[in-house]
Amino acid sequence: MEEKIKNIEKKIEDLEIIKHNIINEIEKLKKSSESEIKFFKILAHTFKSEEGQKNLNYNVIQNLKNFDEVFSQSKAPIYEHIYKEGMKYISFLQNIYQNIGLTGSKEQHSLAPNQVVVSSNPYQTNLFKNNFKTIKNHSNWIRHLSQLKDGRLISSSDDYTLNIYKKDSFELQLSIKEHSSCVNCFIQLQNDKIVTCSDDQTMNIIKLTDENKYKLEQKLQGHSGYVGNVIEIKENELISVSYDKTMKKWEIKNDNKYECTKTITFQNSNSWCNILKLNENEFVTSSSDDKRLKFWNSNNYSNISTINNIEVDFYFRTLCMIDKDILCVGGNNSKGFYLIKISTHQIIKNILGPQKIYSIYKCLNGLFLCSIQNENGNYSLVKYKYDNQNLNKIIEKEKAHEKEIYTCVELNDGTVASGGEDNLIKLWRN
C-alpha cells in the first residue's frame, strides 16, 4: 500500500508539472499571435471530440510533436505523457482549457476552410524558427535566389557575380563573374544550362561542367538597355525583356548557338521588368513605367490583352501562378495582392495586405512564401495558403532582414533562403 501511495503521489506530481507547463505555455500564447491561439482552440475542441474513446487520435499526437516551437519550454516528456496516458489526461486537460476560456461546442470541432493552423508538415508550423546560417559572400544587393536541379542553392547579385553553394553546408562552391554589371536574374534551362540577365545589356549562356567548374558558352547581345528577365518559352527558345522597350525572341540556330529571331518594340513604355510563362500558348509581361500587364500569344507574339487599372506606385515585382487559372500580382505600394483570372484576363480580387511585395515563391506543399514590407514597415517573410480566392496568412517572421528582401526561395528539404539589400543571404530552418 505504501508503494502504491508513492506511485499515486508521483503521478499527481507529474500531473501538476504538466498542468503548470501547459498553463504557462497557453498563457504565453494568449499574448502571442492570433494563429497560435487558434491552434489551441482547435486542439481543445479535438480533445473534447475524443472523449469516450480509448485512445487519443494519432494525428493529434503528430501535430503536437510537430508544434515544437509552441512547446519549446515544455520539453519532450510532455509529449510522452500525453501519448502514453492518452485518455487519462483528456479530462484533466479539458478542465485546464475550460479554466482559461478555450472551450467550444461540438459544432466547432471541425476546422473552417480558412483556418489552416495545424499541419502534419513541420515546416509549415515551425518555419523561420531558426536563422541557422547567414551567407556573406556577396558585396552588394542580392537580386535573385533559386535552387538548381541538383539541389544546390544559387544566387545573383549587384556585385556582378553568380554564386553556387554546396548542398548541405551552404559553403561557397563556385563564383561566376562574366558580367560587367548587376546580375538581375537567371534561370536553369531544360538542358541544365543557366541563362543570366544583366544591366550590362547582355545575357550569358553558362554550362556547369562539374561542381567546381563552368564554361561560358555564349554571350547574347542585342539589347540596348538593362535586361530585366528571361523565360524559356519552349526547348531551345528564349524570350527576354529589357529596359530598352523591347522583347526579344532567341532560338537555337547554326552551330548550336542562340540567335535573335524576333524583336517586339513597345511604344507606350520606357521599361519592362518581368515576364512569366502562363501555359503552352500564353505568357505575361509587366512594365515599370506605364504599370501595365500584357498578355501575349506564345505562337505569334501578338498582344492578346492589357490590364492597366492596378494601383501600384512603381512596378509589379511579382508575377506568380498560384492556381492553374489564377495569376497573383504584387509590387510597390500595390495595396496588397491582385488576383487575375488567366482565361479571361480580368482582375477578380484585390487582397489588401503588405505595403510592398518583393517576391512570391510557390512551395512544394502548395503554400506560398513571400518577402514583403508589412503594415508595420518591417521587412518580413510570410507563408500564405491560397484557398477559394483568398490568401490566408499561416505564419510571419517579422524583421527577417533589416532592409528590403528582394528574393526568397524554399528548398526541397524545407530550408528557406532569403536575400536583399543588406547583401546577406539568410537560411531558415525549424
- Assess contact for 358 and 317: CB atoms under 8 A: yes
Same domain, yes or no, for 39 and 54?
yes
Q: Which residues have a Cβ under 8 Å from the Cβ of 318 and sit 6 or more positions away?
A: 274, 328, 329, 330, 331, 357, 358, 359, 360, 370
Exposure b/e, 341-370, CB count within 10 A at least 16 = b: ebeebebeeebebbbbbbbbbebeeebbbb
Residue 207 lies in a domain: no
Q: How far apart are CA 357 and CA 374, in angstroms?
A: 9
Q: Which residues have a Cβ under 8 Å from the Cβ of 77 and sit 6 or more positions away?
A: none
- Predicted local distance difference test score (pLDDT) of residue 28: 64
Residue 173: its H or E element: strand 172-176
Q: What percent of the chain has pLDDT over 70?
A: 72
- Assess contact for 426 and 130: CB atoms under 8 A: no
**Which domain-ending residue is among 75, 96, 118?**
118
Least confident interval from 4-18, 146-160, 397-411: 4-18
Residue 192, burial from CB neighbour count under 10 angstroms (0-12, 13-18, 19+):
exposed
pLDDT bucket at 34, cuts 50 / 70 / 90: low
pLDDT bucket at 221, cuts 50 / 70 / 90: very high
Same domain, yes or no, for 75 and 144?
no
Same domain, yes or no, for 315 and 416?
yes
Q: What is the mean pLDDT of residues 225-239?
A: 93
Same domain, yes or no, for 10 and 107?
yes
Same domain, yes or no, for 80 and 130?
no
Residue with the bigger pLDDT between 333 and 197: it is 197
Range of the domain at 399: 121-177+310-430
**Which domain-ending residue is among 69, 86, 118?**
118
- Into how many domains does the chain fold? 2
User: Which among 135, 132, 131, 133 is positioned nearest to 161, based on CA atoms?
Assistant: 135
**Which domain-ending residue is among 118, 143, 161?**
118
Q: What percent of the chain has pLDDT over 90?
A: 45
Residue 272 lies in a domain: no
Q: How far apart are CA 328 and CA 273, in angstroms?
A: 16
Q: How far apart are CA 145 and CA 158, in angstroms?
A: 13
Same domain, yes or no, for 324 and 403?
yes
Residue with the bigger pLDDT between 136 and 85: it is 136
pLDDT beyond 50 at 422: yes
Q: How far is CA 329 from CA 49, 333, 357, 367, in A?
A: 41, 12, 9, 16
Same domain, yes or no, for 171 and 84?
no
- Predicted local distance difference test score (pLDDT) of residue 363: 87
Residue with the bigger pLDDT between 126 and 182: it is 182
Same domain, yes or no, for 62 and 89?
yes
Same domain, yes or no, for 148 and 173?
yes
Q: How far apart are CA 185 and CA 240, in angstroms?
A: 11
Residue 105 lies in a domain: yes
Least confident interval from 28-32, 148-152, 334-338: 28-32
User: To 10 degrees, the CA torsion angle through 387, 393, 429, 186?
Assistant: 70
Q: What is the mean pLDDT of residues 337-361?
A: 90
Residue 89 lies in a domain: yes
Q: How far is CA 406 from CA 30, 141, 180, 184, 383, in A?
A: 33, 9, 21, 11, 16
- Assess contact for 241 and 247: CB atoms under 8 A: yes
Same domain, yes or no, for 99 and 68?
yes
- Assess contact for 292 and 298: CB atoms under 8 A: no
